[in-house]
Amino acid sequence: MSTKEDILEQLVEEYLLHEGYFVQHNIKFRPNETHDGYVKQSDSNHSDIDVVGIHPLRIGLDKVVAVSCKSWQGGFNPKAEIEAIAQNKIVAGRERWKPFRELVSPKWSAAFIERLEEVTGTRQFTYITAVTKIHGDKSLWETNSAFRAALGGNPIKVLDMRELLAAVLPKLTTTLANTNIGRMLQLIKAAGVEIKA
Confidence of residue 3 (pLDDT cuts 50, 70, 90): very low
pLDDT recorded at residue 45: 74
Average pLDDT estimate for 113-126: 97
d(CA 75, CA 16): 22
Q: pLDDT per residue over 122-177, tens digit each?
A: 999 999 999 999 999 999 999 999 999 999 999 999 999 999 999 998 888 888 88
d(CA 14, CA 119): 20
Average pLDDT estimate for 94-123: 94
Average pLDDT estimate for 88-99: 90
Residue of 55 and 184 predicted with greater confidence: 55
CATH numbers and ranges of domains, the chain: 7-163 (3.40.1350)
pLDDT recorded at residue 43: 58
Q: pLDDT per residue over 31-85, tens digit each?
A: 876 666 656 666 557 789 999 999 999 999 999 999 999 999 999 999 999 999 9
pLDDT recorded at residue 27: 95
d(CA 59, CA 64): 9
Instruction: State the sign of the Cα–Cα–Cα–Cα dihedral 116, 122, 123, 124.
Output: negative
Predicted model pTM: 0.90
Say whether pLDDT at 182 is over 60. Answer: yes
